[in-house]
Structure 1
């Protein structure tokens, strides 16, 4: 069938067909993102490229070997990734296959929030000083370079362990990038504002300082009082309850807005707290 005989309906059908194929491929890539299947996909691409080059360059023996690998490789893939394939078919049957990307993002967001809340609550109760800065749009690479690189998953246990007194990494700030602990024992710039309350120590000044020059969100746990604070845009939110802290963290990091915020929660670091 030549293009000359195509009707408008045929063109529309072809366009929709192509868009659907691209959408399916995109969603499948989202499904395997972050799993070991990604490495398998890279391996398949390498094998296909090697087969094409062997044909062009006349490497017959290599081409024959790759053909055998391709012939039996699909059976091997089915055997090796049988659990993943079964889970994908189950999700397809429940209608959740193409929503997995959003579900995964929500689960990861909740995991990070819960890890930060759990670690902060533990350290606040025991008055363990802590300083945790979360990178957003403005990069914190200059400050990460001043510390010890970790590049590890965010977990409450690791965060608590870092700030235990007299350990090698407890002095300084932890910097988080996306879903990783990028570095510990980092140096942050101290705020030189004359309006900061005299009650506040070095950790709070560093938290305010980094928030004045970047859009990062920084958590502070006071070693003296166990109070929990949060800084953003040069402002300090002091003496938060765990519920207030969690709500603000969700709002500032992931734009999760809550209908009800505590009425006592106000951004103001210029007012000295009395009593």
Structure 2
């Protein structure tokens, strides 16, 4: 093979190699995006920055400490990121690693909001306890795996049936992912905030706990009083009326979708105008 041809194919293989590496990195980022692993990655980035800065200013002891952390950090990364690595291998085995990711649309969100409103109204009047968490940008796969997988189309009837007392799935949380009921009987982390009212039970603590570690929206129905509450961004909104709950869900879920669609449409219009 002539040298010129060999160089050409070497360039092609190098380009393909780089593109494949970037694609794998992109898929890995999608897997861990929004999970607790992102915060850990930020911590690793801080360690690397401290290492560079300590070398630059001649901070010998600090530089040595950071070097030890980096040297033995590989094993720690494997242990810390075990759930994410397992999920990546599972997706690879199922052939989903190279599939396109989907995002919720406006029609699906409207159906989700309507189903939640109808279900919570029914359960509140009959004092049926419920805990419904809606995934947004932050992934909740870690918590979905703790429950019973359903992957069902959302409906008010399904939500009501899940939380009927003394049924197998009523104890725990329902997690809604991409406008589907992903799983039921899921375990959510309990908030350890000392400012939570003593009269609130486990459901409210779990709702607050998941809102502290993700950007999800969680709706709670109290089985003692029938009151409806909602948590987001570590905040608890108690004793909501139906219209108040509808307003919050619409503003948090639907308005976010409309903003993204408007931004995309504006970008496309500018592109056509420039073209």
- If the TM-score is normalised by the length of the shorter chain, which range does it land in? 0.5 to 0.7
Alpha-carbon distance between aligned partners in 2 of 1:137 and 1:108, rounded to the nearest angstrom: 16
What corresponds to 1:168 in structure 2?
168
RMSD: 1.6
> What is the DSSP-based 3-state SS (H/G/I as helix, E as strand, rest coil) of the residue aligned with 1:255?
helix
Alpha-carbon distance between aligned partners in 2 of 1:106 and 1:139, rounded to the nearest angstrom: 19
Alpha-carbon distance between aligned partners in 2 of 1:249 and 1:228, rounded to the nearest angstrom: 13
What corresponds to 1:223 in structure 2?
223
Q: Give CA deviations for 1:24-74 in whole Å, capped at 9, x if unaligned.
A: xxxxxxxxxxxxxxxxxxxxxxxxxxxxxxxxxxxxxxxxxxxxxxxxxxx
Alpha-carbon distance between aligned partners in 1 of 2:159 and 2:105, rounded to the nearest angstrom: 22
Q: Mind listing any 5+ residue stretches in structure 2 that lack a counterpart?
A: 1-103, 258-275
What corresponds to 2:255 in structure 1?
255
What corresponds to 2:197 in structure 1?
197
| Equivalence map 1:152-191=2 (5 Å) | 152-191=152-191
Alpha-carbon distance between aligned partners in 2 of 1:197 and 1:255, rounded to the nearest angstrom: 31
> What is the DSSP-based 3-state SS (H/G/I as helix, E as strand, rest coil) of the residue aligned with 2:224?
coil
| Equivalence map 1:22-37=2 (5 Å) | none
Alpha-carbon distance between aligned partners in 2 of 1:161 and 1:172, rounded to the nearest angstrom: 13
| Equivalence map 1:1-275=2 (5 Å) | 105-255=105-255
- Structure ID, larger Rg: 1
Q: Is the 8 A contact 2:164 2:170 kept in 1?
A: yes
Higher helix share: 2
Q: Give CA deviations for 1:94-135 in whole Å, capped at 9, x if unaligned.
A: xxxxxxxxxx94433322211110001000000000000000
Alpha-carbon distance between aligned partners in 2 of 1:141 and 1:107, rounded to the nearest angstrom: 23
> What is the DSSP-based 3-state SS (H/G/I as helix, E as strand, rest coil) of the residue aligned with 1:229?
strand
> What is the DSSP-based 3-state SS (H/G/I as helix, E as strand, rest coil) of the residue aligned with 1:218?
strand
Alpha-carbon distance between aligned partners in 1 of 2:234 and 2:117, rounded to the nearest angstrom: 22
Alpha-carbon distance between aligned partners in 2 of 1:144 and 1:105, rounded to the nearest angstrom: 21
Structure with more relative contact order (C-alpha pairs < 8 Å, separation 6 or more): 2
Report deviation, 1:256: 6.6
Distance 1:207 1:185, change over 3 A: same
Alpha-carbon distance between aligned partners in 1 of 2:135 and 2:148, rounded to the nearest angstrom: 16
TM-score (norm 2): 0.54
TM-score (norm 1): 0.54
Alpha-carbon distance between aligned partners in 2 of 1:205 and 1:125, rounded to the nearest angstrom: 22
Alpha-carbon distance between aligned partners in 2 of 1:228 and 1:169, rounded to the nearest angstrom: 20
Distance 1:196 1:249, change over 3 A: same
Q: Give CA deviations for 1:194-246 in whole Å, capped at 9, x if unaligned.
A: 10011110000000000001111000000000000000011000000000001
